[in-house]
Chains A and B, each alone.
Chain A
Amino acid sequence: MALVEIRNLSKQFSKGDEVIRPLREVDLDIHEGDFVSLMGPSGTGKSTLLNLISGIDKPDQGTVTVDDVEVTSLSRSQLADWRAANLGYIFQTHNLIPVLTTYENVELPILLLPLAKRERQQRVELVLEAVGLSDRADHYPRQLSGGQEQRVGIARAIVAHPKVVVADEPTGSLDNKTSEQVQVLLQRLNQELNITMIMVTHDSEAAQIATRQLQLDEGKIRELSSDERATAQQVST
């Protein structure tokens, strides 16, 4: 049974007189432990799909079910509670809270969970160590580099032990070297901690680290075959 089940999912937007349909009756299964990359031309609805899976947007049609919870039927407050306990979100532009330290930013999601202070502290210290930022715990975002900020974002996304982590262009604002570091980190988290990841990216190199590569085009999803992945890898190198 799939961890994430998407059935008949559709979404459309109005832009003046024009109606845009980035998603048309999309069906998709994602299993526990999968690392899924989602690519496609700009404006094809990749981020829209991610927003629907995370529950920060509502579809016009269809359902999204995560671990037997039909996300699309939850109320706004229920969705917030569900995200706090089950979902980690990695933003392209980090979106750290500027007035909070690294430690406090990472701790933010688990403040919403019924955890004792000691357990919260242990979790935060563990994930900071996992992303290699234990010595930056007292730093503010303005004192971190772009790569470090993104690693804090990753730590924040996994601290609550979510079932699914979604990443919207996690390397989009980083240079090549830092992008590579972040990609390695994400891959390691997936392999070592078996975290299910759904990553939107336009970077074909970043897409390679995923165990499954999907292409979104004209509202439909298609999974790349092994040959297509191999060809794409050769092209990118």
Chain B
Amino acid sequence: MFRFAPYVFKGLWRHRARTMLTVSGAAVAIFVFCFVVSIQEGLDRLTSNEDAQRTLIVFQENRFCPTSSRLPEDYARQIEDIPGVKDVMPVQVWTNNCRASLDIIVFNGSPPEKLRNARDLTLVSGDWGEFESQRDSAIVGRKVAARRGISQGESFSIGDITVQVAGVFSSPIPSEENLIHTNLEFLQYRRGADAAGVVTQHEVHLTADADPDVVATAIDEKLKSGPVATTTRRKGAFQASTLSDLLDLIEFAHWLGYACVGLVLSLVATTTLMSVQDRIKEHAVLQTLGVRPARIFRLVIAESGLLCLFGGLMGTSLALAILGWGSLAVGAEGVTIAFRPSLQLALMGTIVSASVGLLAGLVPATQAARTQIVNALSQP
């Protein structure tokens, strides 16, 4: 088959404009497809990773937006007494936009000493000591820092909040890198004196043998008699619930992804069919020279496969590059979904491209292989 590689490549190059247009069309469609897949991957990471399953969020009952949840800070002491609870971190959440947004800024205010133990954060610049000692300091996630051009040593203002950036951090959890962590008291007092002793939520870390759902039920039961009733869920479920409106859109975006794949199929099939119809006589000549119909079939399939693969690789590579450098995320109500490149995404883009290319070539290849030699040779 490789002996005929020059024929295949030169055949594609023969109609350069048509080939380029098809490849670029496939690239764009696969690019969109990869983006759609990356959103789903981001959502899966957010709701299914270990942190999402082994951490509980205690939130005010029947509240959804962070600004509306007001829990007593001292609930933490009561929660700590429940079997299965390793540590409790009170968190005050502030966001610049409760609705869905691509440029959401989320502040998490928590006790600095608890933050360092509770979250897997690595400072890429700056100093923990400065963050822990200075009340209006903050450490900024790498992705939000890149998106907003924030560096260590600067001050950053949004709304009526101004913080001194003590450092930039990275995290193995992509969504973490879209957060800004500050001191709990700082964020509480920004909201006014009546916010003292009040937090948005409690983050509960469990012991290794604890059943998350059992502990969650126990927490709500215990706090039922307190001043504010609570709803406690696994972090993944809490985040999924918070993003429920976005989830509907993400689900719809799936169909967009499928449509993109269908578009590529149609585009490549059309181009290949046109190419076959231009070369009916040529295929008859090849058969006369001794090329089997099955080989003609494979040559056409190779053409369509290559068209789609080139376009798919371009689109996938571009998507991976933008996802890697773009620091993109979408969020709502204080929860963010980070878009990241991944090996799985790269493989999926490549495999889908190759598969669609093979599929697109089936009808044109069958037509080419069934060329009636005598009739085709008599064509001008």
With an 8 Å Cβ cutoff, the count of chain A residues facing the other chain is 27
Stretch binding the partner chain, chosen from B7-15, B159-167, B235-243, B328-336: B7-15
Would A80 and B10 be within 8 Å (CB), given that A57-B373, A97-B282 are in contact?
no
B294 interface residue per 8 A CB criterion: yes
- On whether the beta carbons of A156 and B288 are closer than 8 Å, the reply is no
Known contacts A95-B282, A99-B7, then 18 further A-B pairs from the complex at CB < 8 Å, ordered by chain A residue = A56-B288, A56-B373, A56-B374, A56-B377, A57-B373, A76-B292, A77-B292, A80-B287, A83-B288, A83-B289, A84-B291, A85-B290, A104-B7, A109-B290, A111-B3, A112-B290, A156-B289, A160-B290
A30 interface residue per 8 A CB criterion: no
By a CB distance below 8 angstroms, the chain B residues around A12 are: none
- On whether the beta carbons of B287 and A56 are closer than 8 Å, the reply is yes
A181 CA to B23 CA, complexed, in Å: 46
CB distance from B373 to the nearest CB of A (A): 4
Chain B, 151-208, CB within 8 A of any chain A CB: none
Name the prevailing secondary structure of the A interface residues.
helix
Name the prevailing secondary structure of the B interface residues.
helix
- On whether the beta carbons of B281 and A95 are closer than 8 Å, the reply is yes
A160 CA to B291 CA, complexed, in Å: 13
A168 CA to B287 CA, complexed, in Å: 16
With an 8 Å Cβ cutoff, the count of chain B residues facing the other chain is 23
List the count of A-B residue pairs having beta carbons below 8 Å apart: 67
- On whether the beta carbons of B3 and A51 are closer than 8 Å, the reply is no
Please list the residues of chain B having a beta carbon within 8 angstroms of any beta carbon in chain A: 3-4, 6-7, 10-11, 13-14, 281-282, 285-294, 373-374, 377
A83 CA to B289 CA, complexed, in Å: 6
By a CB distance below 8 angstroms, the chain A residues around B13 are: 99
- On whether the beta carbons of A84 and B289 are closer than 8 Å, the reply is yes
- On whether the beta carbons of B14 and A99 are closer than 8 Å, the reply is yes
Nearest CB to that of A162 among chain B residues? B290
By a CB distance below 8 angstroms, the chain B residues around A16 are: none
CB distance from B296 to the nearest CB of A (A): 9
By a CB distance below 8 angstroms, the chain B residues around A80 are: 287, 290-293
